[in-house]
A and B are shown apart, each in its own frame.
Chain A
Amino acid sequence: MPPPTNKNLVYLLKNGIVRQNWQPLSLYNLTRVPRVNRSRTIYQQKFTAKKLTRKYHGEKLTTQQWKNLFKHSLASVVPMTTGQLAESDGSQYGAGRGSGANGRVPGKERERELQETPYMLQTYAPLERRLDMAVFRAMFASSAIQARQFVVHGFVEVNGQKMKYPQYLLNPGDMFSVSLPKILFATGQPKAQHGRVRNSHREKKLQEKLGDAYISPKQRREQNRIRFNLPPKDPYHTYSALAKGENPQSINYGAGKKGDSPERIRQRGLEAMNKKKVEEKHIKKIKGEDTSAAVSEEGVDVEKEVAEFEASDDAAAEAGERKVAKKKTGGKEWWNDENLPKDYDPDVPYRTPWKPRNFLSAFAFIPKYLEVNHNTGHAIYLRHPVARPGQSEVPTPFDHETHRLAYNWWLRSGR
Chain B
Amino acid sequence: MPPLPRRLPVALPSRRAFTTSRPLLKKPPAPAEDNSSEEGGRLTQQGVRAELHKEAQRRLVADYEKWVETAGQNFKYPLFNEPNYAGSYDPITWERKQLMGAQDVPFPANRHFRVHPVLSDEFREAIWESVVEKGRSVRQTSMMFGVSLERVAAVVRLKAVEKKWVEKEKPLATFLTKCLASMMPVTHLPSHITDNASKDSKDSNKPARASRNHENIQELLVHPFSTAQAFIPASESHRFTREDAGKHFGLPATDDAVPHPSLIQLARDQNAKMDQRELVARQAERDRLEVEKKEEGERKKKEIAEKSGTVVENGRWQWRLQEAETGKVGIRYGVPHQDRKRGQYKVPRKVVVP
Contact = CB atoms under 8 A, between A and B. Distances in A.
Nearest to B94: A254
B254 A359 contact: no
B64 to A, nearest CB: 6
B282 interface: no
Interface in B131-179: 148, 150-151, 153-155, 157-159, 161-162, 165, 171-179
B60 A10 contact: yes
B182 interface: yes
Contact of B84 (A265, A361, A393): A361
Interface string A172-193: 1111010010011001000000
A349 interface: no
A248 B79 contact: yes
B77 A398 contact: no
A139 B180 contact: yes
B75 A24 contact: yes
A96 B352 CA distance: 52
Which of B21, B176, B255 gathers the greatest number of chain A CB atoms within 10 Å? B176
B292 interface: no
Contact of A361 (B61, B78, B174, B219): B78
B54 A5 contact: yes
* B interface, size bucket: 35 or more
A168 B59 CA distance: 43
A228 B64 CA distance: 12
A334 interface: yes
B319 interface: no
A366 interface: yes
Interface in B49-68: 54, 57-68
Given A80-B219, A160-B354, A187-B176, A332 B80 contact: yes
Nearest to B16: A37
A82 B178 contact: no
Nearest to B93: A258
A115 B184 CA distance: 26
Contact of A159 (B112, B219, B354): B354
Given A230-B66, A398-B109, A184 B220 contact: no
Contact of A25 (B64, B85, B86, B270): B64
Contacts of A34: 18-20
A135 interface: no
Given A32-B20, A224-B62, A332-B181, A27 B219 contact: no
Contact of A231 (B20, B70, B161, B354): B70
Which of A173, A228, A361, A377 gathers the greatest number of chain B CB atoms within 10 Å? A361
Contacts of B106: 30, 362-363, 365, 395
Contacts of A394: 113
B93 A254 contact: yes
Interface stretch (A44-52, A61-69, A204-212, A304-312): A44-52
A14 interface: yes
A395 B107 contact: yes
Contacts of B175: 334-335, 337, 339-340, 354
B73 A253 contact: yes
Contacts of B115: 365
A249 interface: yes
A78 interface: yes
A261 interface: no
A1 to B, nearest CB: 9
Contacts of B112: 118, 121, 390-392, 400
A5 B58 contact: yes
B318 interface: no
B236 A96 contact: yes
A37 to B, nearest CB: 5
B147 to A, nearest CB: 10
Nearest to B143: A82
Interface stretch (B239-247, B294-302, B324-332, B336-344): B239-247
Interface in B96-131: 96, 106-116, 118, 121, 124
A77 interface: yes
B287 to A, nearest CB: 16
Which of A172, A368, A371 gathers the greatest number of chain B CB atoms within 10 Å? A371
Contacts of B85: 361-362, 365
Nearest to A232: B69
Given A89-B243, A253-B70, 13 more contacts: A6-B61, A9-B64, A13-B64, A30-B106, A32-B21, A80-B254, A121-B112, A187-B176, A334-B175, A334-B178, A354-B175, A364-B183, A383-B150
27 contacts: A5-B54, A77-B221, A79-B216, A86-B267, A91-B239, A165-B348, A175-B157, A175-B158, A230-B65, A230-B70, A234-B69, A237-B76, A253-B71, A254-B74, A255-B66, A258-B93, A335-B175, A358-B76, A361-B77, A362-B85, A362-B86, A365-B106, A371-B150, A371-B151, A376-B165, A382-B151, A392-B112
9 shortest A-B CB distances, which residue pairs? A86-B267, A90-B242, A94-B240, A238-B77, A253-B73, A334-B178, A337-B175, A361-B78, A48-B17
